Amino acid sequence: MAAGGDRGTIALYTVLFTPIVLLLAGLLVDGGLAIHARQRAADMAEQAARAGANQIDTDALRETGEPVLDPGRARAAACGLLADYREQVTASQCDADEEGVAVTVQISVRPQILGIIPGLGEFQMTSGATARPVTGGIGP
């Protein structure tokens, strides 16, 4: 074996493994961003749905003893809470009827590392939540 037969081996390993390491780092960082965005979207949707479910028609509650939502106020409360997050929320939908409130929230995520790959641009994370009014109290 001639001296210097290993020349260039490190360069070959560097060329082969650098893209793999960057891809793994991108999956770790950008995957974490996606998971965090989904959790944020779920949190916002849950908060908005609960805010809407608090809008009980007090007259109906007094008459029947059953919690009935005021759909207009419930929808306004849910969408109003999401308006506070308007810089983070890409799209949202608030629906309400006398039974409950359903909220869907969409958040955009811009990959920090994998964004350098053509075609892997911004993507959306969506989550939804529902809430219905209940009354607490002591049993019979």
Residue 4: the pLDDT is 59
Query: How many CA atoms lie less than 13 Å away from 135 in the CB half-sphere?
Result: 15
Among 3-17, 65-79, 111-125, name the one with the lowest average pLDDT.
Answer: 3-17
22 lies in some domain: yes
User: The tokens 């360069």 sit on which residue?
Assistant: 11
Please state, in angstroms and rounded to a whole number, the distance separating the CA atoms of residues 5 and 8: 9
Domain that holds residue 103: 10-131
What backbone phi and psi angles, to 5 degrees, belong to 124? -110, 140
Q: How confident is the model at residue 37 (pLDDT cuts 50, 70, 90)?
A: very high
Residue 71: the pLDDT is 93
Residue 139: the pLDDT is 47
Residue 64 has a CB neighbour count (10 Å cut-off) of 10
What domain count does the chain have? 1
3 lies in some domain: no
98 lies in some domain: yes
93 lies in some domain: yes
Q: How far is CA 60 from CA 51, 66, 76, 101, 130, in A?
A: 19, 7, 19, 17, 21
Q: How confident is the model at residue 103 (pLDDT cuts 50, 70, 90)?
A: very high
Q: Are strands 89-96 and 123-131 parallel, antiparallel or unpaired?
A: unpaired
Residue 60: the pLDDT is 87
Q: Which tokens go with 6? A: 């290993």
Q: Which tokens go with 69? A: 């939502």
Could you tell me the sign of the dihedral formed by the alpha carbons of 64, 69, 71, 73, in that order? positive
pTM of the model: 0.79
137 lies in some domain: no
Q: How confident is the model at residue 115 (pLDDT cuts 50, 70, 90)?
A: confident
Q: Is the pLDDT of residue 6 over 80?
A: no
